[in-house]
Structure 1
Amino acid sequence: MDETQRRRLGSRDRVLLAAMELFGQDPGTRLSVRAVAARAGVSTGSLRHHFPTQRALQDEVLTRVYDLVAPDDAIHDTAVPARDRLAACLREVLNRTGVGEQARRALRTAVDTFVVPEPTEELRRAYLAIEREVRRRVEYWLTTLVDEGALAPGDNARRARFLMTVVDGLGMERALPAADPILRTETETLYLAVDAVLGDPGGGIRDDGRS
């Protein structure tokens, strides 16, 4: 976007654009009010008017970024079986890591950003914001399936954590040497996880009711 187009945006959109650009340069960064305001060409007071807290700003940025990466359209396509829709949505999350060298770069970035440095409060907040947004989207998919009767009502937060643990593990597998074709084994694992959730009567994952 050139400067002429940027100037035509309202102050809220300029703030979001600036924050997304800074986030794109360093996903582990805490979005500084001063840095975002300066890049957007607005006052800190104007930024605070639209986003009273840094968390509100970061949550909105993550929502916008994630909407670009994994839109919700697939989960609403009732012509497709629920298990296939949920598996496809989870694969979209997984696809952000890429395969092979791209997956290795993504893993190195995650480790260098969140594991290697001293675990400061700033890093913790940045990581939890990303995790919260991904989990929010998975919970939305699950709620959609509950609403249409394809999934029994239950603890969708717990179900989402389980599914994201599976996806995180598959993402790491993509960066490691594999003996079997990744796509086949990955698909089998995704469907095992999806079937465990769809067959779960109350959100506890286990059939005996224990968490």
Structure 2
Amino acid sequence: MTTLVLATHNAHKVVELRRILGTLLEGIELVAYDGPEPVEDGETFAANALIKARAAHRHTGLPVIADDSGICVEALGGAPGVHSARYAGTRDDADNYRLLLKNLGDSENRAADFMCAAAFVNDDVELVEVGVWKGTILQAPAGDGGFGYDPIFQPEGLDVASAQLSADEKNAISHRSRAFTALLPQVREYLI
């Protein structure tokens, strides 16, 4: 079995990704990263995903996947973007989405995209795939599932917030799912 490191200290993300990828991980053991966290100072999701993957690969010497994601709101010029996790100056999800709602105000343009860049790094190979989940920003939070901006994001074609979806429903259509399901077939070519 080939070991593949997921550059995160978040055990929930490892479990989530195992669920998303399912049979794509056949013959691959996905493990969490336990090394130092790099400074994510890239200007794009792809740059930050590569920063994490490169740092974890240098530390472990193993093949690594990593991601960076966030929400981009059209009326806010793409903000919070790569600053999504610390938008309000804290790492508190509710603080972040409350500030986003305040900054958006009563704008009629509520278009938003959840973005995820998934990266793979191993020796001299670097790959990146981007997943986009289109939707709109609700007027008020709804649901208690998910995390981050899920309570205020209504996916295109649905009439509920992503926080009202089951984990399996969300994992089937999310930006993270789209990025990693595009990346993993390429990763398998290098590992198996």
Question: Quick check: TM above 0.5?
Answer: no
TM-score w.r.t. the length of structure 2 is 0.32
* Structure holding more helix per residue: 1
* Structure holding more strand per residue: 2
